[in-house]
Structure 1
Amino acid sequence: MSISPPSYKQNRLKQLRAFCKTVETKNISRAAEKLFLTQPTISLQIKALERELDVIVFERHGPQIRITPDGELLYEIAKPLLEGIDNLAQTFASKSGRLDTGELTIVAGESTILYLLPEFVSCFKERHPGIHIKLLNETGRDGLAKLRSDAADFAVGPMVEGQADLEYKPLFSFEQVLIVPLDHPLARRTKVTLEDITPYGLILPPRQLNHWRTVDLVFEQHGVPYSVVLEAGGWEVIKRYVEQGMGISIVNEICLTGKERLAVIP
């Protein structure tokens, strides 16, 4: 004779998934879509969870829902439990010293993914073919947010300022260089100053990225004005527009292949 656990315990994992996904999407309909369930199913699972724990996890105002303090506490407890279950195989493999299965998520900017990581990713895949690698193209604060929320295992990118809550280690050092069109007045110079750059408009990555902040900081510290004629995402785009004579740019030397129709000035 076998004794089965109560049905509510068998369904608890589903209930917690429904609850957590609703918290994350802030909407029962969207949670249902994410979990490939119907909206009534999600609602029933949440209500069953509330009955079992004798709490209210959401305040309902028509179609709008708002998480309660009890709901926030439950989410704080349930989220790591679900992640632990989802990552059970990977965690077991890691603890047992076996790195033949699992997932590795790396967050990095486009230039790092494009120019720096390919060789290392290829080498890692040769050694650990069973590990699924995810490369997330995120930079700056967005990339650090992924790291802090455990959406990524580690990040590779420039560290303008130290982060007290993160452990980091310098891996590479690259110079910043000036690129100009081949027919530009600065093209034949072997050395330039910030004052030499001032008359010409710069093409830079979006201002929320580390590179912009670094350039801005250098000019500001030296009291030298500068102007930006174009913001463009991605070094390849920036190089292309400099080639077209739209402006000049200060770029990380990692993005240069030697095949560009540009003058490069250290």
Structure 2
Amino acid sequence: MNLHQFRFVQEAVRQKLNLTETAKVLFTSQPGISKAILELEGELGVDIFARHGKRLRRVTEPGQQVLRSIELIMREVNNLKRIGDEFSKQDAGTLSIATTHTQARYFLPVPVAQLRKRFPKVNISLHQGAPAQVAQMVIDEVADIGLATEALTQFDELVTLPCYEWQHSVVMPAGHRLAQLERISLEDLALEPLVSYHPSFSGRSRVDQAFATRRLKPNIVLEAIDADVIKTYVRLGLGVGILAEIAVRDDPPGGDLVSRPAGHLFGQNVTRIAFKRGAYLRNFVYAFAEMMSDRLSRALITRAMGSDPQEYQL
């Protein structure tokens, strides 16, 4: 048995047992993959996959155990590569970060600049997506670090730690009636067309829950995943915006938009950082985490990687 066989099995499962797609991803031939998997099954003496003709239909019960072992083996192989990279390149390489638009646009620029200053040989690769996609990119080792508010704690393969707290803000044109109020209520917002995040982004679930608790039905006229898009449509008069406070924090006073804090309406949100459980973290990964939040330290991350991450609170 060999690593190629393990990689073929692992990728076949990721591609939902479609060997044509598996071959495309791995830049090889479908017959070659089929042969390698059959040879591995012959060596092990068990069927990893149940078949209908030549098509894979499902992972068998022994196949599930084989797959878990393959995941461990491939994870340790990747760890060996990282260890070699760290000690041979001396803090050089690429830091891959998976995150949402709001974090990439408003939160990460400062720590990324700090990292580049401290580690000039380290390049940054940003991958943006929905929170669930962020989690999957870390699990698939496309990214070293994931950063998002939603979804990350739902995956057992990840170790997550709280990074920082934030609240929502309400944004409206400077001449809007709500701009005259210092403290806006849910009842005030229920009378307005609203522009906010898609339900899977940036604490939108807290917004919906707050209205539901008061038995109010918000009139969401537009949903977006991008805070800048929300502000654009607010400027066009489409409605009142509800977005992350970080997206308006640096807006100049006296501009065309006015914002009001909304923590008293929707509570506090927690953005979390995620690592793949069992992964080897290079020196600059620890350093970058410490740059993102004074709540994070190498010692804390190391402890969390070896225990229950839910023990760690803000």
Corresponding residue number in structure 1 for 2:63:
71
RMSD: 3.0
1:161–1:141 Cα change, 3 Å = closer
1:75–1:99 Cα change, 3 Å = farther
Q: Distance in 1 between matches of 2:152 and 2:18?
A: 37
Q: Distance in 2 between matches of 1:63 and 1:205?
A: 45
Unaligned runs of 5+ in 1: 1-8
Contact (CA 8 Å) 1:229, 1:247: kept in 2 or not? yes
Say if 2:257 is the partner of 1:262. yes
Corresponding residue number in structure 1 for 2:240:
248
Corresponding residue number in structure 1 for 2:174:
182
Say if 2:41 is the partner of 1:46. no
Counterparts of residues 1-266 of structure 1 (less than 5 Å): 12-25=2-15, 26-65=17-56, 66-92=58-84, 100-147=91-138, 152-158=143-149, 166-171=159-164, 173-256=165-248, 257-258=250-251, 261-266=256-261
| Greater CA drift, 131-140 or 115-124 | 131-140
1:229–1:51 Cα change, 3 Å = same
Cα offsets for 1:71-115 (capped at 9, x unmatched): 222111112212322342313456x69851454333322111101
Structure 1 residue matching 2:95: 3-state secondary structure = strand
TM-score, length basis structure 1: 0.81
One-letter amino acid matched to 2:6? L
One-letter amino acid matched to 1:109? T
Contact (CA 8 Å) 1:99, 1:131: kept in 2 or not? no
| Greater Rg over alpha carbons, structure | 1
Contact (CA 8 Å) 2:135, 2:155: kept in 1 or not? no
Contact (CA 8 Å) 1:100, 1:131: kept in 2 or not? yes
1:162–1:223 Cα change, 3 Å = farther
Structure 2 residue matching 1:264: 3-state secondary structure = strand
Q: Determine what percentage of the aligned residue pairs are the same residue.
A: 28
Contact (CA 8 Å) 1:160, 1:210: kept in 2 or not? no
More strand by share: 2
Q: Distance in 2 between matches of 1:147 and 1:19?
A: 19
One-letter amino acid matched to 2:3? L
Structure 2 residue matching 1:196: 3-state secondary structure = helix
1:67–1:29 Cα change, 3 Å = same
1:72–1:138 Cα change, 3 Å = same
Unaligned runs of 5+ in 2: 262-314
Contact (CA 8 Å) 1:202, 1:229: kept in 2 or not? yes
TM-score, length basis structure 2: 0.70
Higher relative contact order (CA 8 A, sep 6+): 2
